[in-house]
Structure 1
Amino acid sequence: MTGQLSILGCGFVADLYMRSLAAMPGLAVAQVHDHDPDRLARFCAHWGLRAEPSLDRFLAQAPAGGVVLNLTNPGAHYALNRAVLEAGHHVYCEKPLALTLAEAEDLHQLAAAHGLLLASAPCSVLGETAQTLGHALRHGIAGTPRAIYAELDDGFVPQAAYDRWHSESGAPWPWEDEFRVGCTLEHGGYYLTWLISWFGSVRTVVAASAEVLPDKGGLGPTAPDLSVAVLFFDHGPVTRLTCSIAAPHDHGISIVGDAGVLRCKAAWDNAAPVRFARRFTLRRRLMEHPLPRRLRLPQPTHPKVKRWGAAAMNFMLGPAEMLEALRDNRPCRLSADFALHLTEVTLAIQNAGETGGAQRMTTRCAPMEPMPWAM
């Protein structure tokens, strides 16, 4: 495939996109803009890209029919997404799409009015592991799914050496943004996208969230750093999702079906193994098979990226999906409806606090069409 991308923002995550770009033949970056001229110069020198210091010229020069990647800090997402859409360009935004539901709805309406694509990270939902689980669910490998437990715990991050984490081109990990925005908004989407892609709309969110690690980085009160949610889908099993930067590292997901359990232990690895443990009885004892069977899709699936830091993910799967949808004149799997619903569910969990209780969702989206190699 071929496609022109423009990168808006060249902080820590932008290097992960560039590492992924190397695995995606046909994709090219036309230009890069960042409000910090020094950061812009270092990033473009490292990757051999063309810098555009002016935002106005960046928007005016973005290739027609291409996609603008908004990789800026979360607080700038709404204003810059709006500026890109108003300039007539399709936009793929790093998570979260916006910091309020009202802002996300405004972007959704604006994209529809201009006939433009609007998509939100993360795109690991298009990866081999998520698609393998989706294939197993559609084909009833574990029988009817009855309950799902999903964990996104990253360890006791405030005690980590996060002030020494730097990207390949030298950008520091944006710890202040991470703590102020909160781990649920930053990371909850890694499993929420998978779940929504399989089952469609979440009807009700019952959640609680809290800041259990106060004064992170000397910032004083920040966003909740622990959340627990129970999700009720229109058409899917009851799901419990936890997210924290306090509990020991655990990125596992378990899908409990009538016939056994589907499991994966790594949300941030596109090639993480998916295994099925059949349930049976032995001498009156109910148990799961001690040697679970690994499930594999026919190869090839998509280009893989080697592990860097905590992740082994191809960050360009999302932009590539948008460009392919535009080329083929078909609906994009990462639709604006999908992005809006993901944002509403994530915000409901993040903002639940101690008394949020049951929250009815107001947005809807359909399950995602599987990738052609995962049918």
Structure 2
Amino acid sequence: MSGVVSIVGCGFVADLYMRSLQVMDGITVAGVYDKDASRLTQFCAHWNVPKVGSLDALLEQHPRNGVVLNLTNPSAHFEVNSACLAAGCHTYSEKPLAMTLEEAKVLHAQADAADLMLASAPCSVLGEAAQTLGHALRTGIAGTPRLVYAELDDGFVPQAAYKKWLSESGAPWPFEDEFRVGCTLEHAGYYLGWLISWFGSVRTVVAASAEVVPDKEGDGPFAPDVSVATLFFENGPVTRLTCSIVAPHDHQIRVVGDEGVLSCKAAWDNSAKVTFAKRMTVRRRLMESPLPKAVKLPQPTHPKVKRWGAAAMNFMLGPAEMLDALRAGRPSRLSNEFALHMTEVTLAIQNAGETTGAQPMTTRCDPMEPMPWAR
């Protein structure tokens, strides 16, 4: 693999990209910009990457066969993504793509008009755990999938020692921004990406969201801190997806099929174990096997990153996929349609509130081509 990226934004998440970059041979950083000059200097000195004095200068010098990584705060995503596209740059955005569906559709139209790639994090859908589970579904290990339960609960975060959470280069965890943006916009994509890659478009979202822990630290208003969604796919099983920063930590996904249950317990670990528990009857009792079998793909798959904090994810799998697609002259698996559809579904869940009811989706995307090592 090879290619060039430029980085906009040097906050907490940028260090996770740089950690991942260390295991990706051949990908170099052309330049980095952040509007906070001291943060920019600290970040670039820590990682030994070149700093650039303005966004315009960064976009002007950026190679057009490379990818710009927009790692700014979510409130700036639309503006920065639009500027990158206007400059003729393929763009990979941290989640969410934009804070409203209208803005996301504008970006999608802008990218399509300019024949540019526009992708959105998270890219764990390209990781080994997601690809292993997808392979198991395609090969019918569990039979026809009938129901999916997916959890993205992170514990009672408002009581966590989050002021002590620092990135490797010294950036604090942006707790106010996290509480304002909300756990659904921040985290739903981790399993939504997997699900949409396997089953394609969500037809209807029936969801509810609420803020159940008031008076969080910082300036509000704050987003819902819990959401529960039922997703109806055009060609897939009914799915329940739960996000919260209140309930005890649980990142499990279970796919219930005619023959048994496929499971993975760690959304944020590319190497998380995927298992299959066959359904059986023992002395008239129906049960899943208490000794589930591991489901594995032939190795090697992709470069792995050691655990740091809560995650063991290679954040550069997405940009690397885009660079490979550019080099090979093929469509990227992280398509513009994928980014837009995932954004619409996520926003529908986040903004559901108490009385929205069923929401028909207005965007569509096809299932994702599996990685070559997962076919």
Same fold per superposition (TM over 0.5): yes
Instruction: Name the structure 2 match of 1:67.
Output: 67
Give the Cα–Cα distance (whole angstroms) in 1 for the partners of residues 343 and 37 of structure 2: 31
Aligned to 2:266: 266
Aligned residue identity for 2:190: Y
Partner SS for 1:177? helix
**Aligned-partner Cα distance in 2 for 1:237–1:332:** 26
Q: Which residue of structure 2 aligns with residue 240 of structure 1?
A: 240
Deviations 1:232-278 (A, max 9, x none): 00000000000000000000001000000001100000000000000
Is 1:3 aligned with 2:3?
yes
Residue in 1 that maps onto 2:340 = 340
In 2: Cα distance, 1:214 partner to 1:221 partner = 10
| Distance across 2 between alignment mates of 1:289 and 1:56 | 58
CA positional deviation for 1:90 = 0.2
**Count of matched residue pairs:** 375
Residue equivalent to 1:156: 156
Structure-1-length-normalised TM-score:
0.99
Residue in 1 aligned with 2:278? Answer: 278
Q: CA deviation at 1:221?
A: 3.8
1:97 lines up with 2:97 in the alignment: yes
- Residue 223 (structure 1) aligns with: 223
When the two structures are superposed, what TM-score results if normalisation uses the length of structure 2? 0.99
Which amino acid is the alignment partner of residue 192 of structure 2?
L
Identity %: 75
Aligned match of 1:135: 135
- 2:89 aligned partner, one-letter code: H
Q: Write the deviation string for residues 301-337 of structure 1: whole angstroms up to 9, x where unpaired.
A: 0000000000000000000000000000011000000
For the 8 Å contact 1:252–1:266, the answer to whether it is kept is yes
Check conservation: 1:33, 1:58, Cα contact below 8 A.
Answer: yes
Query: What displacement does 1:220 show?
Result: 4.6
Give 1:56 shift. 1.3
**5+ long unaligned stretches in structure 2:** none
Q: Shift of residue 45 of structure 1? A: 0.2
- How far apart, in 2, do the equivalents of 1:202 and 1:54 lie? 39
C-alpha distance in 1 between matches for 2:299 and 2:220: 49
Q: What per-residue deviation string (whole Å, max 9, x for no partner) do you get for residues 19-64 of structure 1? A: 0001100101010000000000000000001000111111111112
1:129 touches 1:270 (CA, 8 Å); kept in 2? yes
CA contact (8 A) 1:157 1:245 kept: yes
Paired residues of 1:214 and 1:220 also in contact (CA < 8 A): no
* Partner residue in 2 for 1:202: 202
Alpha-carbon deviation of 1:219?
Answer: 3.0
Which runs of 5 or more residues in structure 1 are unaligned? none
> In the alignment, is the contact (CA less than 8 A) between 1:183 and 1:226 conserved in 2?
yes
Query: Is contact 1:214–1:221 with CA below 8 Å preserved after alignment?
Result: no
Amino acid at match of 1:232: F
How far is 1:218 from its partner?
A: 4.0
Supply the distance in 1 between the matched residues of 2:184 and 2:340 (Cα, whole angstroms). 16
CA distance in 2, matches of 1:58, 1:215: 40
Tell me the alpha carbon deviations over residues 187-246 of structure 1, each in whole angstroms, 9 at most, x when there is no partner.
000000000000000000000000001111143541000000000000000000000000
Tell me which residue corresponds to 2:176.
176
Q: Tell me, in whole angstroms, the C-alpha distance in 1 between the residues paired with 2:374 and 2:139.
A: 11
